[in-house]
C-alpha cells in the first residue's frame, strides 16, 4: 500500500503563475488504485488531477484524468500541463513526439518553443443540443437576440453545448440558472456548457473569448478548457466549405481573474479526416507530498 505520493502543481494555458487553469500531476501513479486516484482528486478539489504511470515505451506514458467526482477520457489542460511537466522532468524529449495514452486514445504531443501542442485522438463531431436560442437565453439570463446562432453539441472526445453570444458584455453577464440547467441541459447527459464570442474572424480563424460551465453537484466555472476549445474549433471548421486550415486564439478565464490563452487549430485536406490540435504554455508553481494512511 502506498503511504505517500509526490505531486506537482501547474498553471496551464498561461506563462505566469496564478493565472490559467490549475492542475495537479502525480508522476509515479502506476501502483495506485482507481479508488485512491478518485479520492485524491476529490481531496485536492481542482478541476482535474492527472495520474501518470511509468513509460511502456520510450516517450509513451499512460495517463488517467480525474475531476473531484469522476474519471474523464480526455481533457485539454491536463494533456498540455502533463506534457510540460514530463519535459521539465526530463522524461520527454523536446525534439521527439510524446504520446500520452488517455482513455479516449493516444494523444500525440509536440513541443514548439514554449508551446505543447497535441492532436485530438478523435475528429470533431457535431450533433443537436437540447438547447435552442430561446432556452439558452433563459438559462443564461440574457435576451434571445444575444444568442446569435442555434446551440449545438460539439465533441472531440468530450462533449460541450456550444452557445455563441453577440458581445463581450453578454458573455460577462451570462449566469447559468441551476434550475433551468436541470431541465435544459442535464437530460442530454452532457453537463458542460461552452459560451463564446467571435471577436475577429479572417476566414482562416481569428480571436475568440469564451467561458465554460459544468455541473458536478454544483455549478462550476473553468478558467481554461482545451477539450472545449477543440470541440469549438472543429465545429467552426465544419461550417466552412472546402479544404483549409483555421487557427483560433481563445481567451478564457478573464471574468474569473485567471486569464488563459488557448491556441486551437483545425485542418481539412482531400481524402483525409479533419485534424484538430490544441496548444498552450504551462508553468510549475509548486510541489508536494500526499500522505496516505
Per-residue model confidence as pLDDT tens digits over 242-290: 899 999 999 999 999 999 999 999 999 887 889 999 999 999 999 999 9
- Same-domain check for residues 227 and 108: no
- Same-domain check for residues 95 and 230: no
What CATH number does residue 262 fall under?
3.10.310.10
pLDDT digits (tens, 9 = 90+) for 80-135: 999 999 999 999 988 899 999 999 999 999 999 899 999 999 999 999 999 999 99
- Same-domain check for residues 253 and 194: yes
- Same-domain check for residues 89 and 146: no
What letter would DSSP give residue 259?
Answer: -
Annotated catalytic residue within 30, 35, 43, 48: 48
In angstroms, the Cα distances linking 174 to 61, 164, 184 are 39, 12, 16
pLDDT at residue 172, rounded to an integer: 98
Is there a contact between 162 and 196 (Cβ–Cβ < 8 Å)? yes
Structural domain harbouring 218: 125-272
Grid cell digits, residue 232:
469549438
Nearest residue to 266 (alpha-carbon basis) of 286, 240, 245, 252: 245
pLDDT at residue 2, rounded to an integer: 60
- Same-domain check for residues 99 and 14: yes
57 flagged as catalytic: no
Q: Dihedral angle at the C-alpha atoms of 74, 80, 84, 85, nearest 10 degrees?
A: -40
- Same-domain check for residues 168 and 213: yes
As for how many domains the chain has, the answer is: 2
In angstroms, the Cα distances linking 163 to 46, 150, 287 are 25, 7, 37
- Same-domain check for residues 263 and 287: no
- Same-domain check for residues 100 and 204: no
Amino acid at each position: 500500500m502506498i503511504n505517500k505520493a509526490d505531486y506537482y502543481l501547474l498553471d496551464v494555458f498561461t506563462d505566469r503563475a496564478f493565472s490559467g487553469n490549475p492542475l495537479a500531476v502525480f508522476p509515479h501513479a502506476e501502483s495506485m488504485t482507481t479508488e485512491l486516484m478518485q479520492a485524491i482528486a476529490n481531496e485536492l478539489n481542482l478541476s482535474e488531477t492527472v495520474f501518470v504511470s511509468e513509460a511502456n515505451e520510450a516517450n509513451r506514458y499512460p495517463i488517467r484524468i480525474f475531476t473531484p467526482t469522476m474519471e474523464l477520457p480526455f481533457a485539454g489542460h491536463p494533456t498540455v500541463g502533463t506534457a510540460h511537466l514530463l519535459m521539465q522532468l526530463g522524461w520527454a524529449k523536446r525534439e521527439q513526439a510524446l504520446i500520452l495514452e488517455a482513455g479516449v486514445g493516444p494523444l500525440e504531443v509536440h513541443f514548439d518553443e514554449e508551446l505543447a501542442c497535441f492532436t485530438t485522438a478523435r475528429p470533431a463531431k457535431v450533433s443537436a443540443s437540447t438547447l435552442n436560442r430561446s432556452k439558452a437565453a433563459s438559462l443564461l439570463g440574457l435576451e434571445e437576440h444575444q444568442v446569435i446562432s442555434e446551440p449545438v453539441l460539439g465533441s472531440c472526445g468530450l462533449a460541450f453545448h456550444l452557445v455563441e453570444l453577440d458581445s463581450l458584455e453578454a458573455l460577462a453577464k451570462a449566469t447559468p440558472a441551476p434550475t433551468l440547467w436541470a431541465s435544459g441541459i442535464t437530460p442530454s447527459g452532457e453537463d458542460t456548457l461552452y459560451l463564446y464570442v467571435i471577436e475577429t474572424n479572417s476566414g482562416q480563424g481569428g480571436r475568440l473569448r469564451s467561458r465554460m460551465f459544468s455541473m458536478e453537484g454544483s455549478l462550476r466555472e473553468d478558467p481554461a478548457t482545451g477539450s472545449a476549445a477543440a470541440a469549438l474549433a472543429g465545429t467552426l471548421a465544419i461550417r466552412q466549405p472546402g479544404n483549409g486550415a483555421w487557427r483560433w486564439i481563445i481567451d478564457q478565464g478573464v471574468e474569473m481573474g485567471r486569464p488563459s490563452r488557448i491556441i486551437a487549430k483545425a485542418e481539412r485536406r482531400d481524402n483525409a479526416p479533419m485534424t484538430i490540435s490544441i496548444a498552450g504554455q504551462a508553468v510549475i508553481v509548486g510541489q508536494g507530498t500526499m500522505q496516505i494512511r
